[in-house]
Amino acid sequence: MVRALSRRFAYGRLLTLLTAAALLLQGCAEGGSGGGAKAAEAQSASGYAGKAATITVGYQSPTAQTWGALIVKNQKLFEKYLKELAPDDDVKVNWFDAPAGSVLNNNMIGGKIQLSFLGDMPSLLNGVLGITQKNYHSVFLAFDGKGAVGRNQAIVVPNGSDIKSIEDLKGKTVSTPIGSSAHRMLLETLRQHGLVDDVKIVDQSVTVGMQSIEQNKIAAHATWAPYPNLIQYKGFGTILSPGEATGIDYLAGVVANRDWAKQNRIYAVAFLKALNEAHAFAKAHPEETARIFEQESGFPPEVCKTMVENIRFDAAIYGKDVSTLKGSAAFLTSIGKLKAALDLDAFIDDSYLREAVKSTGKPYLTDEELHGEWIADRTY
């Protein structure tokens, strides 16, 4: 009898435990306002709860139109929004300063950089690498600096030069980084004056080009900000022709590893929230922005102040911006730099930017606005 009671007690205890377990599982599986649903919602809101990650952002301190990066870096805005959107994750942000977009592109292909601030031409080259490289895919997320109708580019000549007009370049040698936006600007300027076949163009980096101008070793050099302003500030060169003469907008943007962005969307959105705040900061605090530019880039304060005034920091992707990129892609193809056709509609994805802007409570541009001109007081 004792054994029978013992068996009954054991069976009853087992039944109780099984029932409790079933109820617990049911509670976890149910939606609504249950504790399990709340836990899942909390984990979803913070991305990968408890995840450890390192994000490397590439930027170019020698290229002023990518200087939105300097504000994000200096003010630790990326870290701010990572903490907001992924509070349980342990994310470290590294910054990689490169002398040129090609260096950033190589590091992105190698998986060492997840996000990069790039000029328009390196951005397009990155897009092609994303379809020609086996283990790399890329996505264009947003713009950074914009130069209306070519602002922030120029053809410069040494002080005391006999060259006073574009026509005076006939038979001369002019340098520029081949395949750059400055190269496109130079060719368009020469085309307007019927001199494309009468001027020899050689490949020189901005650093070498500036040395050539300073040492009066070349007739002219086509380059981008802050260098035209720098040679004037230092007094060893003058501007022969500004980029505005071409009427072609000068753009810089942000490109990401597409696979990384898909797998870490919350991080990509956090980055674009940071970029959005950086652009708003530049507009609201020009003097402080100039100080940040000076501190982070090493260029003189007078030059940095001019950059704040001349650059439109705006992440929004207007239809006219896409058209400009199409023209740049055609230019790169014409000189043999673009090795494959790039579908810009597939390369550009503004859903990350829209999500970032929406989360701030600000309305994004309407479709009608996006197909018009840049709106003066609407920057992101």
Cis amide leading into 226 (omega within 30): yes
Q: How would CATH label the architecture of 52-146+250-370?
A: 3-Layer(aba) Sandwich (3.40)
Classify residue 44 by burial, with Cβ atoms within 10 Å: 0-12, 13-18, 19+.
Answer: exposed
Read off the pLDDT of each residue in 250-265 and give the average, rounded to a whole number.
Answer: 98
Residues of the chain with CATH 3.40.190.10: 52-146+250-370, 150-246
The per-residue pLDDT for 148 is 97
Give me 103's structure tokens: 């260096």
pLDDT tens per residue across span 167-192: 999 999 999 999 999 999 999 999 99
pLDDT score of 1 more than 90 = no
CB atoms within 10 A of CB 273: 23
Q: Which residues of 320-331 are buried (b: 16+ CB within 10 A; e: fewer)?
A: ebbebbeebbeb
Q: Which of 9-23, 107-121, 277-291, 337-351 has the lowest mean pLDDT?
A: 9-23
Local structure of residue 338 (DSSP, 8 states):
-
pTM of this structure: 0.86
Give me 33's structure tokens: 């306002």
pLDDT tens per residue across span 296-335: 999 999 999 999 999 999 999 999 999 999 999 999 999 9
Let me know how long the chain is: 380
Q: Using 50, 70 and 90 to split pLDDT, how confident is the model at 206?
A: very high
Please report, as a single letter, which amino acid is at residue 370.
Answer: L
For 150-246, CATH gives 3.40.190.10
CB atoms within 10 A of CB 163: 18
The per-residue pLDDT for 50 is 79
Local structure of residue 172 (DSSP, 8 states):
-
Local structure of residue 181 (DSSP, 8 states):
H
Give me 379's structure tokens: 């920057």
pLDDT exceeding 70 applies to what percent of the chain?
87
pLDDT exceeding 90 applies to what percent of the chain?
86
Please report, as a single letter, which amino acid is at residue 181.
Answer: S
Rounded mean pLDDT of the chain? 89
Q: CA gyration radius for the chain?
A: 27
The per-residue pLDDT for 49 is 59
Classify residue 168 by burial, with Cβ atoms within 10 Å: 0-12, 13-18, 19+.
Answer: middle
Read off the pLDDT of each residue in 279-292 and give the average, rounded to a whole number.
Answer: 98
What strand order describes the sheet that includes 200-203? 200-203, 173-176, 220-224, 153-158, 237-242
